[in-house]
Amino acid sequence: MQLLDIGANLTHESFHHDLDAVLQRAQAHGVGRMIVTGASSEGSTKALALATAHPGRLFATAGVHPHHAIDYDEATDAQLRMLAQNPAVVAVGETGLDYNRNYSPREVQLRVFERQLQIAAELHKPLFLHQRDAHADFVALLRRWRDRVPGAVVHCFTDTGEALRDYLALDCHIGITGWICDERRGTHLRELVREIPANRLMIETDAPYLLPRTVRPLPSHRRNEPMYLKHICEEIARDRGEHAETTAANSTATAEAFFGLAPLP
Ligand SMILES: [Zn+2]
């Protein structure tokens, strides 16, 4: 089983002390490649440094999460543009809208999201997108830009069927995390995941967040890491009524095509 984790926050401080061990465990569990999420100017710079240090295994995104939109200035814009020109940066993002926490004012989030849509359009890179409690504004802006960007994945999709169908109609890809393994709040996703065509579905841990609740025994530290991606793959396979090998092969091929990665020999 060859899995590809399209969203791992490996620059997070919880990985500082043992990243090499984390990467080795991932490899031992079939996760040979990971895309390191960039969520701020500094975080994106570090994500690219990690990708550069592990060519062919780690790749990076470059973007500013809506939580940090308030920090986005001209220097940030220039920095993201510079990073996104590196071939190891395979998407612009994490960007989007988050009205759940509103750490940055909505009008700032909207403006900063659009700046990054512009970067993706100009540099012809796909988008790595975050949306929480902001579907209407998010889809309206995405609809205006969709034809100008080569691709868009709505990462950590947890929203409604209506939102899912809006994204699929816009030819977006969908990223599914361990949220689907949570029997308390992920059950609606178990039905919806059947509606996603295999060539639109990708999987991600969002590590260190969202440890799948199906991991046994649950590690005491509760840190999620890419080695657990298989649990997400297996839950999705169960829900879609297919073999986990099929889900794995399809999601990996979909991610390779979406991010422009060469298939492994
Ligand atoms: Zn996110």
What's the CA-to-centroid distance between 151 and ligand 1, angstroms?
17
Query: 3: which strand partners?
Result: 31
| Predicted confidence band of residue 60 (pLDDT cuts 50, 70, 90) | very high
**pLDDT value, residue 158:** 96
**pLDDT value, residue 264:** 85
For 39, how many CA atoms within 13 A lie in the half-sphere containing its CB?
Answer: 16
DSSP state at residue 216? S
What's the CA-to-centroid distance between 32 and ligand 1, angstroms?
22
| Predicted confidence band of residue 221 (pLDDT cuts 50, 70, 90) | confident
* Residues, beta carbon < 5 Å, ion ligand 1: 130, 156
| Predicted confidence band of residue 3 (pLDDT cuts 50, 70, 90) | very high
What's the CA-to-centroid distance between 204 and ligand 1, angstroms?
11
Structural tokens at position 113: 């999201």
What's the CA-to-centroid distance between 238 and ligand 1, angstroms?
25
b/e per residue, 146-170, with b = 16+ CB within 10 A? beebebbbbbbbbbeeebbebbbee
pLDDT at 215 over 90: yes
What's the CA-to-centroid distance between 145 and ligand 1, angstroms?
20
- The C-alpha atoms of residue 184 and residue 50 are separated, in whole angstroms, by 35
What's the CA-to-centroid distance between 42 and ligand 1, angstroms?
17
**pLDDT value, residue 101:** 87
What's the CA-to-centroid distance between 265 and ligand 1, angstroms?
31
pLDDT at 223 over 90: yes
The per-residue pLDDT of the chain, averaged, comes to: 97
What's the CA-to-centroid distance between 25 and ligand 1, angstroms?
24
**pLDDT value, residue 76:** 98
**pLDDT value, residue 265:** 78
Mean pLDDT of 145-162: 98
What's the CA-to-centroid distance between 137 and ligand 1, angstroms?
16
Vertex 36, ends 120 and 216: CA angle to 5°? 135
**pLDDT value, residue 104:** 93
**pLDDT value, residue 149:** 98
Amino acid identity of 146? R
What's the CA-to-centroid distance between 98 and ligand 1, angstroms?
9
Distances (CA, A) of 197 to 165, 206, 259: 11, 22, 17
What's the CA-to-centroid distance between 30 and ligand 1, angstroms?
24
Q: Count the residues in the chain.
A: 265
Enumerate residues 6+ apart whose C-beta is below 8 A from 151.
Answer: 126, 127, 172, 173, 258
Query: 93: which strand partners?
Result: 128
Structural tokens at position 230: 């298989």
- Dump strand ranges (E) for 123-177: 127-132, 152-154, 173-176
- The C-alpha atoms of residue 62 and residue 59 are separated, in whole angstroms, by 10
